[in-house]
Structure 1
């Protein structure tokens, strides 16, 4: 009996090895198996959604030490709501994939795997050609760990070398990844971990397309700051000369950059971004209006504090909304604005249309942490709430307790920019005057705002005042403080192109852009780029 079993196992491994040796066949088989696994988990999600309270209790028991679980009520009595959640690694860790690991992947139960399986199934259903081999280009800077794309269980999906994302310099990494994306004309998906990475990569295309075209024509990767020579040689070996593609790049860039993405990749179906809300929403709007005009954006996942919490099952809708999966984390919610005696409500106790602060238990030993995010419930799928992120609590402006949320400040800023003929807002950050110290002068506490614009080279005093005027109109409490003189006039500065790309590199890790700067080194960097 044992020799027969051993022979069968050897035969299976031989078949797997032979199939894996034929990349196209292996891709098709893997894609089919992973999509089946995704469909199976979607059915399981439907079942879990019929009783979210039971699903949450089971998840909580898995997060607590053995023998200590007595239900959510006892858990909430024993553990008070704690401090802010610790930041987790973006995307989490993923197991290395080998040909014989496919079955293990299909039956895995961890949230990152389940989320990716749902992503692959959802993406294929909406865009049938999106899972073509080598049909996805990735833009992701992850200098200290492996870059984890959305469809990582299917690595043959990507034309971008994994090593390109680990280059120490963010600017160099994005340029190298852009070069490999340009080499592949038949792209169906353009994926970026953050919209800002796509924005900065396309800015590099605007400024450096002649050099990129030359690299394509010769099949070379030129030396550049921040790109180690050994890694450059390794990556250059993967390039091949393509004079036809280089000529196409020159012709399309010479026509201008509106809609350039669709023109360079005519088969492109969708732009996938890791985050499309909060600070990153502005970048999505800028890209939709210019380089990515005419293309849908799909944000597949909702993460908070490094934990995967929800999935977007509606890729063709313009505004992302996420189904909170009841077996990925134990979630509690504080009504927003806060009540006098706040008590958390559970996943099955939310009301449609209301806003809630998120309290998270996603890892063993980290109980009831403030995630620092506010969500709005937009509906339900079975009993599972469907939510949209509204704001980050740490990114509110407040010099006198007035608390202006980031998304409402952005609305006021966009309204002011709309009054400046020809101007288009690209990026901005705010600083509370306390961070400036003596350099802010002897005036009352105030805000300083740094903006990058297209279509405008200078700001008049009247234009600068428009933003302060818009804030007074939109926030009566701010107007009251301004009238009393306890808040001074807002100061608006214009910075040169590329200033925010350098600021993002200075952050040192791929995180959503902080809209309120709280570090002096970052403030000094943006101040050094002021042109008006």
Structure 2
């Protein structure tokens, strides 16, 4: 109180703005001089672009740095680029970077079996920074000053171009597979794209997906994908059950043909299910992850796109208010391409 003095006029202004019916543009209403928002919006974080636009009145979303707890990797030399066009230029003095080419066979490695260590076979495939090829996808491998040697970060990058002689990369996804029932292997990017496609069905109702996660429910026969959705509370009208059922089908239609074959022909996968959870559920999930024995750091916490830990599944299930299933099988034809357009 010796430094900060009460400002009743400012307090009244903040209270009045926050008590309005809508929080649309609340950032620029409270801080009118804001120029941009420094935030990560690549990969799975692209889920929050619409939320940020809503609260920030479409201010520029700037992703400045690419890094992790292991090492800082690179910077965005064009910070005002669109979120979908963000590229990072790796800085060679931050660490020693190598790249493991991504092959389609890699897609069938289960997340449990992925190691952070490079084996002898992988070492023979490693590519140096100067030898990467435009359009090719690689998993980033880093050797750091702090002692990590050929550590698999788990990020998949695609070479987008060059700044002078330095290659620039798009962040594509995390490498690990997150959902699998039978032969199907669904990764983070495919799931993200499928959810985005399904969310378009709710636009006429002014509703959006605030956050989501998933798990493979193998307690049923056959097993099936379950998605937990938290929806915005400002929908203009109740969402008909048929619309949410269509969302289930849209997600299935967006997944690759291995999944659709399992659903339609082999019958080894059951109808996809969306479970709508109470408002604030994902805040509860974050609180649990950061305060329980899981030991997640609040400043590095990211919503898990797949949950397997039983207490987390129980927490989510305890807050389900309604559930919906795909009404019919997705389209699939023998001989169709194994991979969808996102791959």
Aligned residue number for residue 274 of structure 2:
492
Q: Offset at 1:332?
A: 1.0
Q: Is the 8 A contact 2:183 2:258 kept in 1?
A: no
The answer to whether structure 1 residue 317 and structure 2 residue 81 are counterparts is yes
The answer to whether structure 1 residue 529 and structure 2 residue 313 are counterparts is no
The answer to whether structure 1 residue 432 and structure 2 residue 209 are counterparts is no
Name stretches of at least 5 consecutive residues in structure 1 with no aligned partner.
Answer: 1-235, 435-439
The answer to whether structure 1 residue 444 and structure 2 residue 222 are counterparts is yes
Q: Offset at 1:297?
A: 1.4
Aligned residue number for residue 231 of structure 1:
none
What SS does the corresponding residue of 2:140 show, helix, strand or coil? strand
Q: Is the 8 A contact 1:459 1:494 kept in 2?
A: no
What SS does the corresponding residue of 1:356 show, helix, strand or coil? strand
Aligned residue number for residue 335 of structure 2:
none
Q: Is the 8 A contact 2:201 2:243 kept in 1?
A: no
Matches within 5 A, 1:9-408: 239-253=4-18, 254=20, 256-273=22-39, 275-288=40-53, 290-319=54-83, 320-337=86-103, 343-394=125-176, 396-408=178-190
- Residues 401/240 of structure 1: CA separation in 2 closer, same or farther (3 Å cut): farther
Q: Offset at 1:266?
A: 0.9
Q: Offset at 1:451?
A: 0.3
What SS does the corresponding residue of 1:396 show, helix, strand or coil? strand
- Residues 530/261 of structure 1: CA separation in 2 closer, same or farther (3 Å cut): same
Q: Offset at 1:306?
A: 2.7
Aligned residue number for residue 468 of structure 1:
249
- Residues 272/331 of structure 1: CA separation in 2 closer, same or farther (3 Å cut): same
Q: Offset at 1:430?
A: 0.5
Q: Offset at 1:429?
A: 0.1
Q: Is the 8 A contact 1:395 1:514 kept in 2?
A: no
Q: Is the 8 A contact 2:88 2:169 kept in 1?
A: yes
Equivalent-residue separation in structure 1 for 2:12 and 2:153 (angstroms): 49
Q: Is the 8 A contact 2:90 2:167 kept in 1?
A: yes
Equivalent-residue separation in structure 2 for 1:329 and 1:507 (angstroms): 30
Aligned residue number for residue 453 of structure 1:
231
What do you get for the CA RMSD once the two structures are aligned? 2.2
Cα deviation per residue 1:54-75 (whole Å; 9 max; x = unaligned)? xxxxxxxxxxxxxxxxxxxxxx
What SS does the corresponding residue of 2:161 show, helix, strand or coil? strand
Q: Offset at 1:459?
A: 5.9
- Residues 237/397 of structure 1: CA separation in 2 closer, same or farther (3 Å cut): farther
Q: Offset at 1:466?
A: 3.2
Correspondence for 2:305 among 505, 512, 515? 515
Q: Offset at 1:294?
A: 2.5
Correspondence for 2:286 among 504, 511, 518? 504
Q: TM-score, normalised by structure 2?
A: 0.78
Q: Offset at 1:406?
A: 1.4
Equivalent-residue separation in structure 1 for 2:177 and 2:50 (angstroms): 20
Following TM superposition, the consecutive aligned residue runs of length 4 or more in structure 1 with deviations greater than 3 angstroms are 236-239, 338-342, 456-459
Cα deviation per residue 1:77-107 (whole Å; 9 max; x = unaligned)? xxxxxxxxxxxxxxxxxxxxxxxxxxxxxxx
Correspondence for 1:409 among 191, 195, 215? 191
Aligned residue number for residue 9 of structure 1:
none
- Residues 310/465 of structure 1: CA separation in 2 closer, same or farther (3 Å cut): same
Q: Offset at 1:363?
A: 4.3
Q: Offset at 1:458?
A: 5.6
Equivalent-residue separation in structure 1 for 2:240 and 2:196 (angstroms): 15
Name stretches of at least 5 consecutive residues in structure 2 with no aligned partner.
Answer: 107-120, 291-296, 323-343
Q: Offset at 1:387?
A: 0.9
Equivalent-residue separation in structure 1 for 2:254 and 2:8 (angstroms): 56
What SS does the corresponding residue of 2:286 show, helix, strand or coil? helix
Q: Offset at 1:330?
A: 1.0
Q: Is the 8 A contact 1:279 1:513 kept in 2?
A: no
- Residues 339/413 of structure 1: CA separation in 2 closer, same or farther (3 Å cut): closer
- Residues 462/255 of structure 1: CA separation in 2 closer, same or farther (3 Å cut): closer
